[in-house]
Amino acid sequence: MKFSLEWLKQFLDTDASVAEISAALNSIGLEVEGLEDPAERLEGFRVAKVLTAAPHPDADKLQVLTVDTGDGDPLQVVCGAPNARAGMKGVLGLPGAVVPANGMELRKSAIRGVESNGMMCSVRELELGDEHDGIIELPEDAPVGTSFADYHNASPVFDVAITPNRPDCMGVYGIARDLAAAGVGTLKPMDVPSVEAAFGCPAEIRTEDPDGCPAFYGRVLRGVKNGSSPEWMQQRLIAAGQRPISALVDCTNYLMLAFGRPAHVYDLAKLQGAVVARRARNGETIEALNEKTYTLDDTMTVIADDAGVHDVGGIMGGEHSGATEATTDVLLEIAYFDPARIGVTGRKLGLASDARTRFERGVDPAFLDDGLAILTDLVQRTCGGEASEVVRAGQPPAEAKLIAFDPGLTARLGGVEITADDQRRILEALDFGVSDDWNVTCPLRRHDVEGPADLVEEVVRIHGLDKVASVALPRAEGVAKPTATPAQKLERRLRRAAAARGLNEAITWSFLPQADADHFAEEGSTPWALDNPISEDMKVMRPSLLPGLLAAAKRNMDRGAASLRLFEIGRRYFRGKSGASDEKLTLGVLLAGERSTRAWASGKATRFDAFDAKAEAEALLAEAGAPVDKLMVMGEAGAQFHPGQSGTLRLGPKNVLARFGTLHPSTLASFDVDGPVAAVEIFLDAIPPKRGTASFAQAAYSPPALQAVTRDFAFLVDADLAAGELLKAVRGADKSNIVDARIFDVFAGQGVPEGKKSIALEVTLQPQDKSYKDAEIKAISDAVVSSAAKLGADLRG
């Protein structure tokens, strides 16, 4: 919420500086998010008088002005405003000044061959309003040469974050009350004018929805003249971030910002019959002041007459009955709406407003009569007119909460010692009634205070949150036991491993658009959809990590990224067998763009393929502790993958640990991503633990005492035999001695029979207790040859 220092001082008698007020606001829990001094933006702008105005010699729409700035020698200024004329007073921006609206620095320059020393400014250029048809015209008594910031009474503006539990501070008066309670000045008594009723109210007012609108008050003003609101009101509204509209509308906005009390004004001539607070009828529509049409239902409270709905109660008025320049008679409405009903209606309609913000947090139900009297006085002072009697329908909540309070609780809960007398003073300064036996009566506007703990909070924050000492929590002696679960340790290890392999971690939303989720849903399953999503693009719980990674890849590639190596560890969500929600930990990898850039040797860039995806899958599975050497490579990666360039890694025929490969062109087309794109999904929950352990976590490395021995073998095999099959057979020939085997050559051609190929392997043997003897190495070699022969492999001579 924004407000100016000048506005605050209307309610708070204080000599505190801006810095002192800002510090006090932070101390009492009203965080200052910004502090702006408009005088700094208006530096270099001065009240000036136009002495002469002559046509520009080379431009029909420009004039050459002679301007008195109060410094003695008049300045020549070229101006295109239609209202510029000799004798008027306006605002001159001198060379060096920066125009607030566009950041342009003014300089002495030649405009169509005529020297110009600055610029005569409009309201919009100084960000004082929306008018831009001409330059600012100041009154005759405006002192020439005065800084415009001083003349305009530019006041520092505070931007304060109001937490949802403090609707009483969503008006300047409420903030002044808190500051006065904290000792930053004295709160001025609220000036509630006495309005003389000149006639009986001609409008009938009723409430037929006592749950949604318990109280509905109003009165008629006739003979008003709508126009622009006074300068002082516009300045305060602009400082608060509001755009001045018209005097009648500005008066209601002023009441809301000053006292946190929304109200509404209707053009009486546009109303037909009684004005009633009631439930909407299913299918009724309203064109709101934001020029959008909304369809209502019977859970919503509206203000209507015989012709139809004119107001979504407590949220926004209708376009039809709004006040215009031709309005002469108005109905002022001020009501109390149920906060819960306001919140539900606003969310259903997707309709936000300043009024909704206040009503759904809870306004002061005791401020109806006073608020209507203040609004009536504002309208009469700005628009004239005479007022009718007040018509009241219903009753607002009037039962105040009574809380038994122990002052000693403040030290126990708040951690700060405050005397009982000081606590009583603070509570009474906030309008709490405190009896001799410490029964505390809460003001009706304090909906957030429900028990003794809330009173402790009030006392401590006014005393000063910065005065609460920081005390460390007690800690037992010794070293804390590790608290990370095996799954958390696995996630950390995999993150380090993926980053070490050159992958960049992405964190994407757990929600997807419906179409994206359906594309990656498992066959026969339906993704979880939210009843109350943040938006349509975040409606469904993700059944896979790949849609989010594809969206991240698209954003980066659209911005020129040539190569992307992304990974994410997160959870997938789908329906379990019982229909309940289920989630599984997954690691996703996406490789897109260029694997290597163009080089002189290759001549062109290479792109990622299925083998890159498989390499990432095997490396990360190994880091997760899976027995990679025992995995089977099979198909059926899913319809999202290219059928000829994808596969699965399985521990047994049914246990799929990962799927990998290049994504199907139709998948890439659905996500508008240029291919090819390689991807991996590792299903971490599917990795079985070792016997007697919680996971496949690797033990600490202990190097062997004896040096390893390597032997090379070359086999002739059928051309269609998968090299992995031979590798697997060799590794299993003697598991106690063979610790590794790798293929270092595959050859077919001259010297190799047709239909055959030669595969050469390096086998690593690791002695345990003693070095190998020749006979032991020969026995292991024979076992390797024998195991290979089962696949039809012949040892080459």
Contacts of 675 (CB under 8 A, 6+ apart): 592, 662, 663, 665, 668
Q: Alpha carbon 266 to chain centroid distance?
A: 35
Residue pLDDT, tens place only, 534-588: 788 888 999 999 999 999 999 999 998 989 999 999 999 887 666 666 788 999 9
Q: Select from 278, 382, 285, 401 the least CA-distant residue to 335.
A: 278
Which of helix, strand or coil describes residue 618? helix
User: What are the residue boundaries of the structural domains of the chain, listed by start?
Assistant: 2-37+156-187, 40-151, 197-394, 402-467, 486-686, 709-795
CATH of 40-151, picked from 3.10.310.40, 2.40.50.140, 3.30.930.10, 2.60.120.260, is 2.40.50.140
Instruction: Please write down the long-range contacts of 706-709, taking CB distance under 8 Å and 24 or more positions apart.
Output: 706/766, 706/767, 706/768, 706/770, 706/771, 707/767, 708/739, 708/764, 708/765, 708/766, 708/767, 709/764, 709/765, 709/766, 709/767, 709/772, 709/777
Instruction: Identify the weakest region by mean pLDDT among 138-142, 349-353, 688-692.
Output: 688-692
Residues 308-330 have a mean pLDDT of 90
**Which CATH topology does 197-394 take?**
Phenylalanyl-tRNA Synthetase; Chain B, domain 3 (3.50.40)
Q: Alpha carbon 186 to chain centroid distance?
A: 38
Would the annotation count 458 as a binding residue? Answer: yes
Confidence category of residue 602, pLDDT binned at 50, 70, 90: low
> Can you name the residues that pair with 32 across neighbouring β-strands?
160
> In this predicted structure, what is the pLDDT of residue 690?
64
Residue pLDDT, tens place only, 256-269: 999 999 999 999 99
> Does 709-795 match 40-151 at the fold level?
no
Give, in degrees to the nearest 5, the angle at Cα 209 between 203 and 213. Answer: 75
Would the annotation count 636 as a binding residue? Answer: no
Strand order in the sheet with 157-161: 2-4, 157-161, 31-36
DSSP 342: H
Q: Alpha carbon 706 to chain centroid distance?
A: 60
Would the annotation count 211 as a binding residue? Answer: no
* Number of continuous H segments (helices) and E segments (strands) in the chain: 20, 42
Q: Select from 559, 563, 518, 523 the least CA-distant residue to 541.
A: 518
The DSSP line for 461-507 is HHHHGGGSPP-PPP--SSPPPP---HHHHHHHHHHHHHHHTT-EE--
Tell me whether the omega of the peptide bond preceding residue 676 falls within 30 degrees of 0, making it cis.
yes
The DSSP line for 193-254 is --PPEEE---S-EEES-TTT-SEEEEEEEES----PPPHHHHHHHHHTTPPP--HHHHHHHH
Token pair of 465, please?
A: 């949150």
Token pair of 8, please?
A: 């605050």
First to last CA, the chain: 88
Residue range 709-795, CATH number:
3.30.70.380
Token pair of 373, please?
A: 């009297």
Residue pLDDT, tens place only, 192-219: 999 999 999 999 999 999 999 999 999 9
Cα dist from 45 to 95, 110, 353, whole Å: 9, 20, 35
Residue with structure tokens 């073998």?
A: 713
What count of Cα atoms within 13 Å lies in the side-chain half-sphere of residue 180? Answer: 22
Residue pLDDT, tens place only, 364-375: 999 999 999 999
Would the annotation count 448 as a binding residue? Answer: yes
Q: In terms of DSSP bridges, do strands 402-404 and 275-279 run parallel, antiparallel, or are they unpaired?
A: unpaired
Residues 92-104 have a mean pLDDT of 91
Residue pLDDT, tens place only, 614-649: 999 999 999 998 888 888 888 889 999 999 899 999
Residue range 402-467, CATH number:
3.30.56.10
Token pair of 627, please?
A: 């027995």
Supply the mean pLDDT for the chain. 90
What percent of the chain has a predicted confidence (pLDDT) above 90?
A: 69
pLDDT of 697 > 70? The answer is no
Cα dist from 554 to 307, 505, 506, 540, 588, whole Å: 52, 15, 13, 20, 16
| CA–CA distance, 632 with 87 (Å, rounded to integer) | 94
> Can you name the residues that pair with 159 across neighbouring β-strands?
2, 34
Q: Considering the domain 486-686, what is its CATH architecture?
A: 2-Layer Sandwich (3.30)
Q: Select from 451, 472, 442 the least CA-distant residue to 409.
A: 451
**Which CATH topology does 2-37+156-187 take?**
Phenylalanyl-tRNA Synthetase; Chain B, domain 1 (3.30.56)
Give, in degrees to the nearest 5, the angle at Cα 784 between 782 and 786. Answer: 70
Residue with structure tokens 């001065």?
A: 46
| CA–CA distance, 535 with 541 (Å, rounded to integer) | 13
DSSP 746: E
> In this predicted structure, what is the pLDDT of residue 698?
54
Beta-strand (E) ranges in 5-135? Answer: 12-13, 31-36, 45-56, 59-68, 75-79, 89-93, 108-111, 114-117, 119-120
Q: Select from 259, 288, 291, 278 the least CA-distant residue to 346.
A: 288
- Asked whether the beta carbons of 462 and 426 are under 8 A apart, the reply is yes
Which of helix, strand or coil describes residue 764? strand
Confidence category of residue 601, pLDDT binned at 50, 70, 90: low
- Asked whether the beta carbons of 372 and 332 are under 8 A apart, the reply is yes
Strand order in the sheet with 316-317: 205-207, 275-279, 301-305, 308-312, 316-317
